[in-house]
Amino acid sequence: MLLFTAMLVLLWAFCPLTTAGRLRTLHVEYESTGMNFTAARNICQSKYTDLLTEYNEQINKEIVKELLEIPNLDVHSVKWSDGAAVTFFNLTGNCGSDCCAAMKADKEWDSVNCTITKPFVCFDKGYTKYIVIDKKKSWFEAQQDCRQNDTDLFTIRNVSENENLETAKDSIWIGLQHRKIDKSFTNFANQSLFCIYQGKWYQSIKSEVHAVCYKSYIHVSTHEMSWEKALDYCNASGLLRIESKDDQIETEEELQRQNLSEPVWIGLRQSRLFGFWIWMNGPNVGNWTNWKGGRQPEHQISHHCGVMEKVDGTFKWADKDCRSKFRVLCEIR
């Protein structure tokens, strides 16, 4: 089973994944496989907001978390004993949680419990050829045996290497190992992820072959206005409220994506009588705040409307005269 075919089948098998967030969602567009940057970005802009360009391990974790929520789908971490990237894959079956690959006479790989004893195949000392060892050992014992001779269990990198490996009548251990992962899985470094759905293996998401799009729920006005006009402008969707550090980070990233550094109105308003601050389209300002100077503006001497303002390279909340004119941040749904 070629990786390309496996990925195409995955496209047909599942709807695009969506990772949840209050102010932004991520969407994996499987049909973008093989497209260049411009084509992938066009897909994202036509369906969402834009192509996500800051793809990182955290985003990968969010996507895998979504995969783990799909009913009857198992996600597995797959790796070669010598640490090589998984560039060719021909595994069938699923022995359970911790399994190893054995090549059969038909050149397919079988998923087998690693404790079962089998003959095995090692690299030679130059890592250019292979040596079949006709001794039955568990996968881990076979790995140790190869490594004691300054080599490792054999890695198969392409169709040619797979076809050229001569096997005995019985299946033999090769260097591939896989284990089922769960929601507690966090170590994504140097991991190849594959899914099992309805008994078949499919390659999971890779940033270099799929477009990861984002949809932002933050709208930035193109023109400036007073805070009262901003309230009318945002209408039913409401001026933006920031309830948490995650909301703050997403808002900052959206302002940076749009190259904005000047103050922008948000949904903060102060009670002229009592001095407390509220969000116009939501709850009172809670325990999490991000005021300039580390505390909210002092009652009686403060202005009564709130902005996001860049201070020493980072965005903070600040009070401004409600009659001042700035661009506006609205929430959209």
User: d(Cα 47, Cα 5) in Å, to the nearest integer?
Assistant: 25
Chain segment 141-194, per-residue pLDDT in tens: 999 999 999 999 999 999 999 999 987 667 999 999 998 887 666 665 566 888
Is the pLDDT at 7 greater than 50? The verdict is no
The proportion of the chain whose per-residue pLDDT surpasses 90, expressed as a percent, equals 43
**Which residues of the chain form CATH 3.10.100.10?**
218-331
Does domain 218-331 correspond to CATH entry 3.10.100.10? yes
pTM value surpassing 0.85: no
Amino acid at 21: G
Rounded Cα gap, residues 307 and 291, in angstroms: 10
pLDDT in tens, 180-218: 887 666 665 566 888 887 778 877 655 445 677 889 999
- 235-264 average pLDDT score: 89
- Using alpha carbons, select from 118, 111, 169 the residue that is nearest to residue 140: 118
Distance of CA 244 to the CA centre of its chain: 21
Q: Is the pLDDT of residue 12 over 70?
A: no
